[in-house]
Amino acid sequence: MNVTSNAVEALKKMIPTEDLADGSIRFFMSAGCCGPSLQMGLIKEEAANDSKFEVEGIRFSVDPEAVAQVEKVTLDADDNGFRLDGYNAPSCETT
């Protein structure tokens, strides 16, 4: 996973410094209406089996079930919020 400087700055503005110092941003799969989807959230304790990395002082962890989904993804941010460039979310098909 790549994390842009825009995403790092947005996280630092959005999350209190003490929460970033004590926690990490975790990526995980969550059940959705059309299938599992990639989610992110702030956690206080990392799971032992998560993949971990750090970018500009922000810790990230990735649930083992989400590793394949984030390998070629870039976390970016702009005025509209965060986005995962390169992530193909499941789509609902109706017939």
Does 60 or 92 have the greater pLDDT score? 60
pTM of the predicted model as reported, rounded to 2 decimal places: 0.83
Backbone angles phi, psi at 88, to 5 degrees: -100, 95
pLDDT of res. 35: 63
pLDDT of res. 87: 81
| Contacts of 3 by beta carbon, 8 Å cutoff, 6+ apart | 55, 58, 60, 74, 75
Tokens of 22: 């004590």
Q: Are 88 and 78 in contact (CB under 8 A)?
A: no
Alpha-helix residue ranges (DSSP H) falling in the chain: 5-14, 17-22, 67-70
Tokens of 8: 């790092």
- What is the chain's mean pLDDT, rounded? 87
pLDDT tens per residue across span 37-55: 788 999 998 788 999 999 9
> Can you give the residue ranges of every domain in the chain?
2-85
CATH architecture of 2-85: Sandwich (2.60)
